[in-house]
Amino acid sequence: MEYKNIIVETKDFITTITLNRPPTNSVNLGIREELNQAVTELEQSADTRVVIVTGAGEKGFCAGMDVSDIANITKGPNGNDVLNKIERSTKPFIAAINGYALGGGCELALVCHFRFMTDNPKAVIGCPEVNLGITPGWGGIQRLPRLLGKSKALDMILFSKRLPPPEALAAGLVDKVFPAANLMQEATAFAKALAKRPPLAVAAVLQGMSIGLEKGLEEGLRVDREWSSKLGKSKDATEGFTAFFEKREPVFKGE
């Protein structure tokens, strides 16, 4: 697929997806279709071990659904399905929040496994849909309480609060805050460290944790046992033990 609404770039096992509809990078049918396609392809790509998601420009990460594209809301992949696919990915996703992340933009950040945010005072994150008489429709109601706790999530959603970087960090909504000039550099450095980890073991942790949180402890443990058996026979496990005894850094290939 030729991408017109996003930019996809891969280097050193790290793929960066940039929402490319500045200044707000709001989600239209095109972004839903292209993001869905990109995530599907990257899940199967041996060239990608970590994914960074960010927004074009310096103003917004993503302002959520494009209200001018409301006529297309029922067309193409559903926003929930696209975000679920990211959350359930066996490859780590890092949200590099370079500006405001509101509504669907906040929900996109929530499904990423890690969230880094610029310290720009104009940058805010939240789900303000109740101001419009509607509710967060792409998982915010379910994911915010899992991250922040029930009362904090209710306070944020019911009062349409938009948290600036320091408050988002203190609440646990984002993991780290960096100066705007360093955001992508820091996200990339973190991604490089992740990319050196054994891909199969990373996939096992992500899938087991995701299924356990969604379907319960027993189902999660079942998946963990299946992965343990598979990993024990992998070339990466052989490399890991060999490197340990040879006192060198392992080189994992995802095999």
Kindly give, in sequence order, each residue whose CB lies less than 8 Å from that of residue 93, ignoring residues fewer than 6 positions away: 50, 51, 52, 53, 86, 111, 112, 113, 114
Q: Which of the listed CATH numbers 2.60.40.1760, 3.10.450.50, 2.40.160.20, 3.90.226.10 matches domain 6-195?
A: 3.90.226.10
**Tokens 């590099």 label which residue?**
96
Six-digit token string for 159: 């009062």
Contact at 8 Å (CB) between 165 and 174?
Answer: yes
Model pLDDT, residue 58: 84
CB neighbour burial string for 214-229, b if at least 16 within 10 angstroms, e if fewer: eeeeeebeebbeebee
Instruction: Give tens-digit pLDDT for 135-145.
Output: 999 999 999 99
Instruction: Give tens-digit pLDDT for 173-191.
Output: 999 999 999 999 999 999 9
Residue 16, phi then psi, degrees to nearest 5: -105, 125
CB neighbour burial string for 187-213, b if at least 16 within 10 angstroms, e if fewer: bbebbeebbebbbbbbbbebbbebbbe
SS3 77: coil
State how far Cα 49 lies from the chain centre: 13
Residue 9, phi then psi, degrees to nearest 5: -130, 135
Model pLDDT, residue 2: 85
Give the residue among 28, 148, 165, 14 at the shortest CA–CA distance from 93: 14
Model pLDDT, residue 190: 98
Residue 45: its H or E element: none
Q: What is the DSSP string of 115-172?
A: EEEE--TT--EE--GGGGT----SSHHHHHHHHH-HHHHHHHHHTT--B-HHHHHHHT
Mean pLDDT computed over 63-78: 92
Residues 19, 40, 29: CA angle, nearest 5 degrees: 45
Residues noted as catalytic: 107, 129
Q: How confident is the model at residue 66 (pLDDT cuts 50, 70, 90)?
A: very high
Q: Are strands 50-55 and 14-19 parallel, antiparallel or unpaired?
A: parallel
Instruction: Give tens-digit pLDDT for 99-113.
Output: 999 999 999 999 999
Q: Residue 121 pLDDT more than 90? A: no
Q: What pTM was computed for the model?
A: 0.96
The residue type found at 203 is A
State how far Cα 235 lies from the chain centre: 28
Class for the domain spanning 199-246: mainly alpha
> Would you list the domain boundaries of the chain?
6-195, 199-246
